[in-house]
Amino acid sequence: MAGAGDDGPRIVFLGAPGSGKGTQAALLAEHLGVPAISTGEMLRDAVAQGSLLGERVREVMARGELVADDLMAEVVEERLARGDARRGFLLDGYPRTAKQAETLAAILERSSKRLDHVISIEVPEEKLIERALLRQRADDTGEVIRARLRVYREKTAPLIDHYRKQRLLRTVDGERSVSEVQSEIFRILE
Ligand code: AMP
């Protein structure tokens, strides 16, 4: 049973690059008063600072591939141990592989916590390519965008079924405006 002050929620956001999950995660986190933890943002900060972590992930990120699961496990475990994440969090961009989902489950289990919801923002791939090309970062090429989408389809999309089986999955149609998607997410969580 959850102890006093242990009041969640603990939410994972799934969604391909360009699905709007980062935007929605930030909006929901603010609404719920829990931190939105974006592993992509943490890694980009590390690269910008030129830290050891940044050095290790820079090239993999530039190719649109995934950083190794073991390294991500260290990053996420350390982040979730910080005080602000103890009473709930929203994960944006983790887990991205079956192995990462196992790691997250193990981290939570060690502190007798569990996930409350997994929100999958669904957008058809053609639409994602269109959106991704519009918002591409300076160093992204069409090729890197396609690599990111392929990685999502092959490695991350299988988590949708994994969490559906655990009855944690809530799917949201992401092909609408930011505020419409936001309202639907708020409604689902009520
Ligand atoms: P994002 O901003 O979430 O799209 O992440 C940007 C990049 O950071 C990804 O393309 C990956 O190279 C890396 N990254 C972020 N989160 C993860 C993760 N959970 N596992 C592996 N690589 C990640």
pLDDT digits (tens, 9 = 90+) for 22-45: 999 999 999 999 999 999 999 999
Retrieve residue 180's tokens: 């419409």
pLDDT band at residue 133 using 50, 70 and 90 as cut-offs: confident
CB atoms within 10 A of CB 51: 12
* Residues pairing with 13 in the sheet: 92, 119
pLDDT band at residue 4 using 50, 70 and 90 as cut-offs: very low
Q: Answer whether residue 93 shows pLDDT above 80.
A: yes
Kindly give the distance from the C-alpha atom of residue 138 to the centroid of ligand 1, in angstroms, as a whole number: 17
Q: Work out the angle between the directed axes of helices 52-62 and 69-80 (0-180°, nearest 10).
A: 130
Write down the pLDDT at residue 158: 97
Distance of CA 81 to the CA centre of its chain: 17
Q: Answer whether residue 96 shows pLDDT above 60.
A: yes
Report residues whose beta carbon is within 6 angstroms of any ligand 1 atom.
17, 39-40, 43, 60-61, 64-67, 72, 93-94, 96, 100, 148
Give the pTM: 0.92
Q: What is the mean pLDDT of residues 56-63?
A: 96
* Residues pairing with 155 in the sheet: none
Write down the pLDDT at residue 161: 98
- Give every CB contact of residue 66 below 8 A, 6+ residues apart in sequence: 60, 72, 96, 97, 151, 155
Q: Answer whether residue 136 shows pLDDT above 80.
A: no
Rounded to whole angstroms, the Cα distance separating 150 from 140 reads: 15
Q: Which of 153, 152, 141 is nearest to 62 (CA)?
A: 141
Kindly give the distance from the C-alpha atom of residue 38 to the centroid of ligand 1, in angstroms, as a whole number: 9
Q: What is the mean pLDDT of residues 122-128?
A: 91
Q: Which atom of ligand 1 is nearest to the CA of 63?
A: 12
